[in-house]
Amino acid sequence: MNTLVDNQIDHQDYQLHMIPTTKFKTNTIALKFARPIERDTITNRALLPFVLQKGTKNFPSERELRLELDRLYGAKFSINGAKKGENHIITLTLDLPNEKFIDAENDLLKQGVQFLQEVVANPKLIDQAFDPDLVAKEKETLENKINSIVDEKMQYANMRLVDEMCQDESFGIRSHGYIDDLDSIDGTTLYDTYQDMIKHDRLDIYVVGDVEDEVVKQLFESEFQLARQNPVEIKEADQADADQVSTISEAQKVQQAKLHFGYRTKITYRDENYPALQVFNGIFGGFPHSKLFLNVREKHSLAYYAASRFESHKGLLFVFSGIAPEKYEEAKDIIMKQHESIQEGNISDDELEQTKKAIIHSLKETLDRSRGIIDWHYQQVIGGKQETNQDVIDAIQAVTKDDVIKVANLVALDTIYLLTSEDGGAQDA
Amino acid sequence: MHEIDIPKVYETVYHKQLDNGLDIYLYPKQDVEKTFAIFSTNYGSIDQSFSPINQKEMVTVPDGIAHFLEHKMFEKEDGDVFQQFSERGASANAFTSFTETAYLFSSTTEIEANVETLLDFVQNPYFTEESVEKEKGIIEQEIRMYDDQADWRLFFGTIDSMYRHHPVRIDIAGTVESINDITADDLYTCYNTFYHPGNMQLVIAGQFDPQQMMRLIEQNQNEKSFDIPPEIDRDYGDEPIVVDQSEKTIKMPINTPKCMVGIKEKPEALEPNVLLENDLIRDLALDIYFSKSGLHYESLYQEGLVIDSLRLEYMLEKSFGFTAIGASTMEPEKFGQRVKEMLHSIKTDQIDQDAFERVKKKKYGELLREYNNLETVASNIIQYHQLGLDFRDVFPTLEQLTVDRFQEKLQSWIDEDQITVCSIVPEGE
């Protein structure tokens, strides 16, 4: 396979990662601001991406900001906040056509960097604070968004499971913030959060595309300046024990029940058991050939979907399924049996080999997308471990059946969450 | 096999039509890791009334059968085809749209074996009454999952409100009742009529040698025998030009209401010689007025009628077409009213040359970006092929479009009785 190289420059204010590739017709730039997640500031940080997209000093409305992007040949731009382990990351992503494919243009990339500088360093301010009307409006938007999570049942069930499971851990903090905090936020307090982010967050910058490192380096030197000092360290997640399994059940007007499981693996990205955890997850529920899909869906027709996913930076693993409400007990038993079956070593050679191939395939596929390339590399920053794509493949290849059994026995069920219908299967729960 | 050069992006696609009627497009791209293949039939959820192969009389089959058939193609006498792909680390999938059923895989190893499996499983149906019965439980869960999704209900509610007879108004998966009527015989009737190579296309994109790949496909096809391609009569009913209902309200257990305004296309806009141009014009019009750089979006946002962004959809096919503008909104009625007013004002609005050139630039950038993604290129090739168009024509059509022509064509787009407003409101209101 082609080896991707992260040509990294240790700038005093940020880490610049340049990953050259000819795969794309566009260049992608991502700025990632990271710090440990905190209950006190999370709602402010959740609100920032909304406010920053609504205008800058020189593009004072959302419309003017977007018109500038149109002029950059429909550059795609987004700002979002997310939780990675016990850190909160605010990412600005700009994807713009490579000028090689446009006859009339030769400095699109430069204009792109200037645009990012404008959004990050020149927000629209009134008396050293964000515009109060704008903040009020965006608080409403965030409130509406938080209120509509309950309408997306799968997302809601995930959120509730983590709420219950990680109440006393910072991983349990909701990355979209809390409605109760909104009252106390105004243009001044939000501006404080913004300044704190610009000054002190860890900042990683990624540039992926068919462009020379020297050009990128020069552009950032000349077009991108932030007032930075003493950046914070990102945090390694705390680990808790799974003691007794708790079961939480909630009823709403739904046709399909959501049955979600939370497990503790205590295995994170830098852990030597991490490759074996990936293989365990693949055998358990990561793919259409996995035990969950084959048994819950294909063999017993209990669900349209049943899958598992792990959280690389916290050491958790989740199972999701959508089931008929009255099938709760049956589905629960079958899901738990699949885990036990792996613990007992019930893994065929085919299953093991297929799973390894599927993991390697999905890694390669990730590296065919520019955002995939960025996320994959950034995972190493958060995970505190550097490796090449070939290292990862070799590590997956080396996983044995015994390694998987060992991991299966480290994975412990912590919480079962059921969202069910008000009439249907509630009596079973 | 002939070469098709795509000048703007410096890429080459190879095309050949085999004697059995199958159209093959090969898009080699050496710098990516994976290969993506899609085998598609020009047969979707709207093809419910037709003349079966070797038969004169029209038949009507149950709602949701194309999708049901798609599910059942994966099951064979000796097991599940997913398994064969999985064993090679490939990921396989399929989808059914209004007009198309497609089977696909992506793979980073053993590409040729996967291509053979793809051709063989789609060209070798195996349906039994028993397996058909078993599938009903799974599809029922899938239908119920969609039933809980407000965005899905909004979209299909809007279409249903526009169309009185045309089967586009029916959910692609059908209903729990309709799928219960499906038999193995029905599946064979549909399969034998619509899965003839003459009605199908194969597109492969990624890392392979085109000559060698073409030989492999030809060899595979030469080993199979097919009847002469059938002439298929398809009946979509006698659809009125105007919308069926001008308003529709659906009640659901949700927190945040939603509203979507749909514009039904007049049949003359869907004629083959103008379809591509009209498709672009709808796209550009949505951009000018309703994207985040659009004037109307800004007003809707300022008036507090839209939470975050608008959902913009347009779909122009030979037998139906529509454009839709939707949003989550606390005031669905007012949103619908305002969007309607805005749509009517388009007729008299003067678009300036700069604004028009800007959206053209943006569109050009988006077309370039499509070539970042093998799946998008392959899907486009198929869609254009099924519409009888060359997929490259979008570049010159865009270049040649003038502001005068654009303005003129917008005049005949929207009349009052082409518009429908569909809302989803919380129960009990």
CATH class of B247-426: alpha beta
Residue B86 tokens read as 């999985």
Chain A contacts of B330, Cβ < 8 Å? 144
Q: Is B359 in Cβ contact with A70 (below 8 Å)?
A: yes
Residue B154 tokens read as 């909004």
Q: What order of strands is seen across the sheet that includes strand B59-60?
A: B59-60, B49-50, B234-235
Q: Within an 8 Å CB–CB cutoff, is residue B49 touching chain A?
A: no
Chain A contacts of B142, Cβ < 8 Å? 304
Structural domain contains residue A319 = yes
Chain B residue with Cα closest to A364: B33
Residues A252 and A210 in one domain: no
Best A22, A59, A73, A152 residue to mutate vs chain B (most B CBs within 10 Å): A73
Best B207, B293, B305 residue to mutate vs chain A (most A CBs within 10 Å): B293
Query: Which of A354, A365, A334 shows the shortest CA–CA distance to A396?
Result: A354
Q: Give the total number of structural domains in chain A.
A: 2
Nearest to A361 among B89, B147, B253 (CB): B89
Chain A with chain B: Cβ pairs closer than 8 A:
175
A72, with CB counted inside 10 A (0-12, 13-18, 19+), is: buried
Q: Within an 8 Å CB–CB cutoff, is residue A148 touching chain B?
A: yes
Q: Which H or E run includes A407?
A: helix A401-410
For chain A, count helices (H), then strands (E). Answer: 14, 13
Q: Within an 8 Å CB–CB cutoff, is residue A212 touching chain B?
A: no
Phi/psi region, residue A301 (left: phi>0; alpha: psi -120 to 50; beta: rest), is: left
Active site residue B341: no
Q: Is A96 in Cβ contact with B365 (below 8 Å)?
A: yes
Alpha-carbon distance B192 to nearest alpha carbon in chain A (angstroms): 26
* Other CB atoms within 10 A of residue B90 CB: 26
Q: Is A287 in Cβ contact with B365 (below 8 Å)?
A: no
Residue A295 tokens read as 């048994």
Global confidence as pTM: 0.92
Best B86, B256, B358, B398 residue to mutate vs chain A (most A CBs within 10 Å): B86
Identified catalytic residue from B3, B11, B33, B70: B70
Nearest to B366 among A72, A74, A324 (CB): A74
Alpha-carbon distance B240 to nearest alpha carbon in chain A (angstroms): 35
Residue B216 vs residues A234, B121, B212: alpha-carbon distances, Å: 52, 16, 6
Structural domain contains residue A228 = no
Could you tell me what percent of chain B has a pLDDT over 90? 88
Q: What is the DSSP letter of A298?
A: I
Q: Which H or E run includes B28?
A: strand B23-28
Chain A contacts of B253, Cβ < 8 Å? 252-254
Residues A205 and A325 in one domain: no
Q: Within an 8 Å CB–CB cutoff, is residue A20 touching chain B?
A: no
Alpha-carbon distance A253 to nearest alpha carbon in chain B (angstroms): 6
Residue numbers of A between 340 and 359 with CB closer than 8 Å to B: 350, 353-354, 356-358
Place of tokens 């409400």: A325
* Other CB atoms within 10 A of residue A164 CB: 17
* Domain coverage including residue A260: 246-428
Structural domain contains residue A237 = no
pLDDT at A429: 37
Q: Is A287 in Cβ contact with B91 (below 8 Å)?
A: yes
pLDDT at A425: 53
Q: Is A73 in Cβ contact with B361 (below 8 Å)?
A: yes
The Cα–Cα gap between A224 and A113 comes to 7
Strands (E), B243-377: 247-252, 258-264, 311-316, 321-328
Best B151, B292, B330, B351 residue to mutate vs chain A (most A CBs within 10 Å): B292
What burial letters (b/e) apply to A244-269, b meaning 16+ CB within 10 Å?
A: eeeebbebeebbbbbbbbbbbbbbbb
Q: Within an 8 Å CB–CB cutoff, is residue A324 touching chain B?
A: yes
Q: Within an 8 Å CB–CB cutoff, is residue A57 touching chain B?
A: no
Alpha-carbon distance B372 to nearest alpha carbon in chain A (angstroms): 5
Structural domain contains residue A235 = no
Structural domain contains residue A11 = yes
The Cα–Cα gap between A313 and A318 comes to 13
Model confidence pLDDT, tens digit, residues B405-425: 999 999 999 999 999 999 999
Q: Is A151 in Cβ contact with B34 (below 8 Å)?
A: no
Chain A contacts of B298, Cβ < 8 Å? 61-63
Residue A70 vs residues A50, A169, A338, B356, B364: alpha-carbon distances, Å: 19, 43, 51, 11, 10
Q: Where are the domains of chain B?
A: 2-235, 247-426
Chain B residue with Cα closest to A257: B145
Residue numbers of A between 81 and 110 with CB closer than 8 Å to B: 95-98, 101-102
Q: Within an 8 Å CB–CB cutoff, is residue B298 touching chain A?
A: yes
The Cα–Cα gap between B265 and B281 comes to 13
Chain A contacts of B207, Cβ < 8 Å? none
Residues A199 and A265 in one domain: no
The Cα–Cα gap between A323 and A159 comes to 18
Strands (E), B29-127: 35-41, 49-50, 59-60, 75-76, 79-80, 91-96, 101-107
Q: Within an 8 Å CB–CB cutoff, is residue A403 touching chain B?
A: no
Q: Is A140 in Cβ contact with B141 (below 8 Å)?
A: no
The Cα–Cα gap between A382 and B194 comes to 51
Can you tell me the ipTM of this complex? 0.89
Residues A279 and A185 in one domain: no
Q: Is A304 in Cβ contact with B145 (below 8 Å)?
A: yes
Q: Is B293 in Cβ contact with A144 (below 8 Å)?
A: no
Chain B residue with Cα closest to A54: B292
Query: Which of A144, A43, A47, A56 shows the shortest CA–CA distance to B305?
Result: A144
Residues A206 and A250 in one domain: no
Q: Is A63 in Cβ contact with B297 (below 8 Å)?
A: yes
Q: Domain B2-235 carries which CATH code?
A: 3.30.830.10
Q: What is the DSSP letter of A284?
A: I
Note down pLDDT in tens along chain A; length 429 residues. 677 888 999 998 999 999 999 999 999 999 999 999 999 999 999 999 999 999 999 999 999 999 999 999 999 999 999 999 999 999 999 999 999 999 888 899 999 999 999 999 999 999 999 999 999 999 999 999 999 899 889 999 999 999 999 999 999 999 999 999 999 999 999 999 999 999 999 999 999 999 999 999 999 999 999 999 989 999 999 999 988 999 999 999 988 899 999 999 999 999 999 999 999 999 999 998 899 998 988 778 777 789 999 999 999 999 999 998 999 999 999 999 999 999 999 999 999 999 999 999 999 999 999 999 999 999 999 999 999 999 999 999 999 999 999 999 999 999 999 999 987 554 443
Q: Within an 8 Å CB–CB cutoff, is residue B128 touching chain A?
A: no
pLDDT at B429: 56
Residues A197 and A267 in one domain: no
Alpha-carbon distance A172 to nearest alpha carbon in chain B (angstroms): 24
B10, with CB counted inside 10 A (0-12, 13-18, 19+), is: exposed
Q: Is A253 in Cβ contact with B427 (below 8 Å)?
A: yes
Query: Which residues, 6+ apart, have CB-to-CB distance to A128 below 8 Å?
Result: A188, A191
Residues A187 and A255 in one domain: no
Q: Which H or E run includes A163?
A: helix A153-165
Q: Within an 8 Å CB–CB cutoff, is residue A331 touching chain B?
A: no
Chain B contacts of A77, Cβ < 8 Å? none
Residues A411 and A262 in one domain: yes
Residue B317 tokens read as 């096919």
Alpha-carbon distance A140 to nearest alpha carbon in chain B (angstroms): 9
Query: Which of B126, B118, B67 shows the shortest CA–CA distance to B95?
Result: B67
Note down pLDDT in tens along chain B; length 429 residues. 999 999 889 999 999 999 999 999 999 999 999 999 999 999 999 999 999 988 889 999 999 999 999 999 999 988 889 889 988 989 999 999 999 999 999 999 999 999 999 999 999 999 999 999 989 988 998 898 888 889 999 999 999 999 999 999 999 999 999 999 999 999 999 999 999 999 999 999 999 999 999 999 999 999 999 988 878 999 999 999 999 999 999 999 998 899 999 999 999 999 999 999 999 999 999 999 999 999 899 999 989 999 888 999 999 999 999 999 999 999 999 999 999 999 999 988 999 999 999 999 999 999 999 999 999 999 999 999 999 999 999 999 999 999 999 999 999 999 999 999 999 999 975
CATH code (residue A313): 3.30.830.10
Within 13 Å of residue B91, how many CA atoms lie on the same side as its CB?
16
Q: Within an 8 Å CB–CB cutoff, is residue A221 touching chain B?
A: no
The Cα–Cα gap between A63 and A67 comes to 6
pLDDT at A299: 79
Read off φ and ψ for residue A73, nearest 5 degrees.
Answer: 55, 50
